[in-house]
Structure 1
Amino acid sequence: MGVVEVPRPKPAPARMRPRDVMRVGAVGLRTRPLRAFLSALGIAIGIAAMVGVVGLSSSSGAELDRQLSALGTNLLTISSGTTLMGEAAQMPVDAEVMIERIGPVQAASSIGKVADAKVYRSERIPKAQTGGLNAYAARLDLPATVGATLRSGRWLNAATERYPAAVIGAAAARRLGIGPVGEDTQIVVGGVRFAVVGVLEPVALADELDSGVLVGWPVAEERLGFDGHPTVLYTRAEEARLESVRQVLAGTANPQAPNEVDVSRPSDALAAKQATNEAFANLLLGVGAVALLVGGVGVANTMVISVLERRAEIGLRRSLGATRGQIRTQFLAESLLLSALGGLGGILLGTAVTTGYALYSGWPSVVPAWATLGGLAATLAIGAVAGLYPAVRASRLSPTEALATP
């Protein structure tokens, strides 16, 4: 009776542990470092662009939020408009007093434009070269109301408001060539010499002050022919009742002609600026996405060439028992490693650029966590897509075909 041989089952291929996958996936990176670096660089540039754009936009937004928090969003501005005939309107002399009677109003101040008072550095300046500067009569509580600060010198007080003393805005100081004020710093306003006692920092919520020369209300009436009518009123009101106050300001400031008064909220301009920055950031973010896509194409190109150059290695591994799945895993892991290196480098580069520029500009440095995590996830997705076709192509090579390739 013959012996029947039972065929032995083929042993299952050894499973690759994660450490082994990482090791074989890094072979191509170690053997071709320059090519790997250049491919990773394409990914890094795209990620750095995305992180940098998001970071700079967020840092700029944080700075605007900081400014708004410091200056307050409860400032309302009432300015003289035009009449039905198109002429410049005037607010009543007691408009400021009437506005202060509104319950929720916390503070009110005003300036009045001195129409015929031109500003010059000295009497020798030609009359036509006014520099676009305006002279204003100002109340003593103006800085506290609008959030203005002084770059140098001091603000007007109860004594200096009655004498030829002036505080100039930041843009006015630049046009007049005035730096830090000294005891002998003087300008000519309406043909009268005024001593410059202070220079303002740029005023975010009242930019008309930047190109203005501010003098005391009494001296403007006595020496410059000011008629006493306020041109712009600044009002601080309770935040919760701001809209209610806004609705009655025009009628309170000018009861006879409320339609000749314009009421605005300067902080809305800063909010609009922030929205504009965000829209611009979205545009640049699209540019970063294009750069990231180009980097992904570079990774795919590198992986395809790697498969062509390593056909002998693939054939040897297949003949030694490696399965198609293991070959596919090897090249897919190599593509993911390449993309991950580029992504991490791009995140570090983008964060460094954001931090450096924010410190240089005096902004808080803000890099949202979603930007870094999203950038890393995008690189891994790009790496997976870019390496999928080369990995499948490598796994389909038969051992004999691969080893026979010169």
Structure 2
Amino acid sequence: MSAAGERPRSVLRLGDAVATGFTALAARKARSLLSITGIAIAVASLVCVTGLAASAQAALIDQLGRDGNLLTVAAGQTFSGNPTPLPPTAETMVRAIPPVTAVTAVGTVPDATVRRTDAIPALQTNGITVLAAEPSFGAVMSTPLVAGRALDRVAQAYPEVVLGFSAAQNLGIDRLDGGTAVTIDGASWPVVGILAPSTVAPEVDDAALVSFPVAVRLLHFDGTATRIYLRADPDQVAAVDAVLPFTVSPQQPEAVEVRRPSDILTARIAAKNAFVGLYVALAAVALLVGGLSIANVMIVAVVERRTEIGLRRALGARSRHIAQQFLTESALLALIGGLIGAGIGAAVTAAAATAQGEQVIVPLPSLAAALAAAVSVGLVAGVWPALRAARLPPAEALRAGE
């Protein structure tokens, strides 16, 4: 109990401040909704950017784990742009390297054209290359099929073709019905499979694959490989990369091109990281704009509620309690917007990742950071209105309501 004449101690509990804050926000529904919407959009953008980037990077890292030990070997090109053949002993020599675990080869069939029908002019090839492939191609490359099957034993004796993903799109083929066929050098070849997009072997996307024996018999192919794909012990990839040019062509190692498709995946991961930084910066700007909206709403609220402020001061509320109340309201605006934005961002991330066939990942640290950033912006936005309300003289505030 306070001593006689002593002013009663004024206390503002957090629960009371939150309840009063909700009541005040509900009284200004339209303005509160606009402020909440701005914060929600910014937070949803932050969550979407980090979530979609994490989902895409997880897929790339997973592929890097599968294809990080893949290497390709090719020679130079002729003046016409066609790849020159590798030495006849190239594939045998590559197989002899101890860390190499699997090898396959393809050969470019020169002057072979692929069209949907004979009615299409021979010059309209859509950039599709005919590649002769060995039976081990599918096992070594691990490229899945979106339709049909790979070249099997039947394809070693009969004309059958597997299309790369881009080649199938250019030909207008998106499904197989048993009668799907293309024209190669004037003859009809049944399409038995369509490959999925290949990140590690983009040259296959624009190719029509046939078997070596049939290409030799029907397309006047000389049977020489122009590109070798190999898998190596993951711990020895760099060592194999270093010796491949000298192994394939001891006389002219500089004419041999060795590529590590994993470098493409690494570059794509780095590029995604760069874009994530840009998009996060843009979302941060949107969050600052949302904070300005909250500050504007709270300043107007101070002007409108001067009578309330004066009455509370007259009843014993201290300046810090008035400031605490307005800070609580601005934080509530930001928190509600942040929670709504986080939910929207997570839902959009899940929908987009699922549509692209990727693993759905919404990083919890990013989610927590987005919410924390929203609340921090709300608190900062409420500082000036809170100070302005706290410094308002009680007598002047009461007179303003008369």
Q: State whether TM-score is above 0.5.
A: yes
Measured against aligned partners, the alpha-carbon deviations of 1:241-292 in whole angstroms (never above 9, x if no partner) come to: 1100000111111222111111111122122112212211221111111111
The answer to whether residue 337 in structure 2 is matched with residue 357 in structure 1 is: no
Structure 1 CA distance for aligned equivalents of residues 250 and 41 of structure 2: 61
Measured against aligned partners, the alpha-carbon deviations of 1:343-397 in whole angstroms (never above 9, x if no partner) come to: 1111111111111222222221111111111111111211111111111111111
The answer to whether residue 117 in structure 2 is matched with residue 122 in structure 1 is: yes
Measured against aligned partners, the alpha-carbon deviations of 1:309-329 in whole angstroms (never above 9, x if no partner) come to: 111111111111111111111
**More deviation in 88-97 or 230-239?**
88-97
Sequence identity percentage: 42
The answer to whether residue 203 in structure 2 is matched with residue 208 in structure 1 is: yes
Question: Per-residue deviation at 1:128?
Answer: 1.5
2:272 alignment partner in structure 1: 277
Question: Per-residue deviation at 1:143?
Answer: 0.6
What count of residue pairs does the alignment treat as equivalent?
399
In structure 2, do the counterparts of structure 1 residues 309 and 143 end up closer, same or farther at CA, with 3 Å as the change threshold? Answer: same
Contact 2:83/2:226 (CA < 8 Å) preserved in 1?
no
* 2:310 aligned to which of 310, 315, 324: 315
SS at 1:400's partner residue?
A: helix
Any gaps of 5 or more consecutive residues in structure 2?
none
Structure 2 CA distance for aligned equivalents of residues 174 and 188 of structure 1: 15
1:93 alignment partner in structure 2: 88
1:28 alignment partner in structure 2: 24
The answer to whether residue 150 in structure 2 is matched with residue 155 in structure 1 is: yes
SS at 1:263's partner residue?
A: strand
Measured against aligned partners, the alpha-carbon deviations of 1:115-136 in whole angstroms (never above 9, x if no partner) come to: 1222223333222112211111
**More deviation in 355-364 or 323-332?**
355-364
Amino acid at match of 2:353: A
* Structure 1 residues 25-174: aligned runs within 5 Å: 25-69=21-65, 71-82=66-77, 89-174=84-169
Contact 1:13/1:322 (CA < 8 Å) preserved in 2?
no
Amino acid at match of 1:162: A
Structure 1 CA distance for aligned equivalents of residues 178 and 10 of structure 2: 89
Any gaps of 5 or more consecutive residues in structure 1?
1-6
* Structure 1 residues 234-245: aligned runs within 5 Å: 234-245=229-240
* 2:386 aligned to which of 361, 382, 391: 391
Structure 1 CA distance for aligned equivalents of residues 217 and 34 of structure 2: 75
Question: Per-residue deviation at 1:83?
Answer: 8.1
Larger radius of gyration: 1
**More deviation in 135-144 or 213-222?**
213-222
* 1:19 aligned to which of 7, 15, 20: 15
**More deviation in 152-161 or 125-134?**
152-161
Contact 1:163/1:219 (CA < 8 Å) preserved in 2?
yes
Structure 2 CA distance for aligned equivalents of residues 12 and 341 of structure 1: 35
SS at 1:19's partner residue?
A: helix
Structure 2 CA distance for aligned equivalents of residues 166 and 254 of structure 1: 31
**More deviation in 392-401 or 272-281?**
272-281
Structure 2 CA distance for aligned equivalents of residues 179 and 30 of structure 1: 54
SS at 2:280's partner residue?
A: helix
Contact 1:83/1:260 (CA < 8 Å) preserved in 2?
no
**More deviation in 123-132 or 175-184?**
175-184
Amino acid at match of 1:212: A
**More deviation in 396-405 or 153-162?**
153-162
1:3 alignment partner in structure 2: none
- Aligned Cα root-mean-square deviation (Å): 2.2
In structure 2, do the counterparts of structure 1 residues 308 and 243 end up closer, same or farther at CA, with 3 Å as the change threshold? Answer: same
Structure 2 CA distance for aligned equivalents of residues 261 and 134 of structure 1: 21
* Structure 1 residues 155-234: aligned runs within 5 Å: 155-234=150-229
Amino acid at match of 1:129: Q
Question: Per-residue deviation at 1:87?
Answer: 9.0
In structure 2, do the counterparts of structure 1 residues 381 and 153 end up closer, same or farther at CA, with 3 Å as the change threshold? Answer: closer
Contact 1:137/1:216 (CA < 8 Å) preserved in 2?
yes
SS at 2:194's partner residue?
A: strand
In structure 2, do the counterparts of structure 1 residues 128 and 50 end up closer, same or farther at CA, with 3 Å as the change threshold? Answer: same
Amino acid at match of 2:196: E
SS at 2:360's partner residue?
A: coil
* 1:292 aligned to which of 287, 290, 296: 287
Question: Per-residue deviation at 1:111?
Answer: 0.3
Measured against aligned partners, the alpha-carbon deviations of 1:170-219 in whole angstroms (never above 9, x if no partner) come to: 22222233344455443332344433333222233212112211121122
2:370 alignment partner in structure 1: 375
2:301 alignment partner in structure 1: 306
2:250 alignment partner in structure 1: 255
SS at 1:243's partner residue?
A: helix
Structure 2 CA distance for aligned equivalents of residues 325 and 151 of structure 1: 66
